[in-house]
Amino acid sequence: MTGAPVPQRIHRGGRQVVITWDADHVGTYDAQTLRLACHCAVCRDEVSGRPLLDPGRVPASVEAESIQLVGGYGIKIRWTDGHDTGIYTYEYLWELCPCGKHGR
């Protein structure tokens, strides 16, 4: 890992996933955007990294149905569209943080 912190709190609310990184940093992730960012083998070609998921197949109303911790490094989200095979590492979530202060 390249310095991404471990979240203090992760919760879902409607069409958002909210991650509290620390007292001064809360990332509010749009559920559809996060769903489209899934890196699993169903959503992204394992060799080229090319997206396989058609964005038109993910409804704007998609929500995180449940969130599970995966080891000490990430989370697994079950989406209301039925998808649940992706693992979002804390490092990847840190890079995707909508605050714009770090990442991609």
Question: 3-state SS string over 27-50?
Answer: EEEEHHHHHHCCCCCCCECCCCCC
Tell me the two tokens of residue 24.
């001064």
Please, what are the domains in the chain?
9-96 (3.30.2020.30)
pLDDT in tens, 57-68: 999 999 999 999
pLDDT at 34 over 90: yes
pLDDT at 1 over 50: no
